[in-house]
Amino acid sequence: MNIYSINITFAQPEHAVYAEQICQLIYESALQRGTGIARRSPDYIAAKILGGKAVVALDGERLVGFSYIECWGHGDYVATSGLIVDPEYRHLGLAGAIKKKTFELARTRFPFARLFSITTSLPVMKLNTRLGYKPVTFSELTDDNEFWQGCEGCCNYDILMRNNRRMCLCTGMLYDPKTPLAKQSWWRPYAMVVKNWFKKVFHLK
């Protein structure tokens, strides 16, 4: 299997036929991981696809990956959610490519919004970090009730509510378009090489 044969694209209306399969993939993966997941109905997923708020990965006619975005707090925030890769297509870098495309979709459609994601998944944390997301407490995320109500289908919902929505098992991650990217000095990579060399030679920890 080769990632280059897979087409990762902004979802078009005709992709709504995959909604049921996407829900099934998300549900089965959540059961397998034994972690919580905000359950989504096929109608909800189809609405995202029809609204131009989703990314699909296709191997020919076969749907092998998906993700979507949603606005919250009157457009101040956009959540990237529902990332899923077909188990047969994992560890090829597909999630990374879908995440990038979803990020592109969110930045194009909502250039001034803060992007966020809540997740228990290490791969997702890694990918978000590469895109410039930072871990934050839930207080930094949207206070839109509807977003948090979406967690109702998660098996950890009681934990979220017990903590007045301030914390749960998920890590909140935020990309703020207003935060300037840290400027890399030209000499930094050279300093790292010298530092590592010193550590190696002098057996420093």
For residue 182, count CB atoms less than 10 angstroms from its CB and return exposed for 0-12, middle for 13-18, buried for 19 or more. exposed
Please state the separation of Cα 197 from the chain's center in Å. Answer: 36
CB of 96 to ligand COA, least distance (A): 4
User: Which residues on neighbouring strands pair with residue 28, listed in sequence order?
Assistant: none
Does the protein bind ligand COA through residue 57 (CB under 6 A)? no
Does the protein bind ligand COA through residue 122 (CB under 6 A)? yes
In the block, which residue shows the tokens 């909800």?
Answer: 44
CB of 14 to ligand COA, least distance (A): 23
Whether the CA torsion 86, 48, 146, 106 is positive or negative: it is positive
Per CB under 6 A, the list member of 80, 102, 119, 142 interacting with ligand COA is 119
Site for ligand COA in 67-96 (CB under 6 A): 83-85, 90-96
CB of 95 to ligand COA, least distance (A): 3
Three-class DSSP category at 19: helix
Nearest to 36 by CA among 174, 175, 164, 161: 161
| Tokens coding 44 | 């909800």
Query: Of 60 and 180, which CB lies nearer to ligand COA in the complex structure?
Result: 60
Helix (H) or strand (E) holding 119: strand 114-119
Site for ligand COA in 129-188 (CB under 6 A): none
Per CB under 6 A, the list member of 62, 126, 134, 166 interacting with ligand COA is 126
Query: Of 56 and 194, which CB lies nearer to ligand COA in the complex structure?
Result: 56
CB of 188 to ligand COA, least distance (A): 21
**Terminal-residue alpha carbon distance, the chain:** 41
Q: Which residues bind ligand COA (CB under 6 A)?
A: 29, 83-85, 90-96, 119, 121-124, 126-127
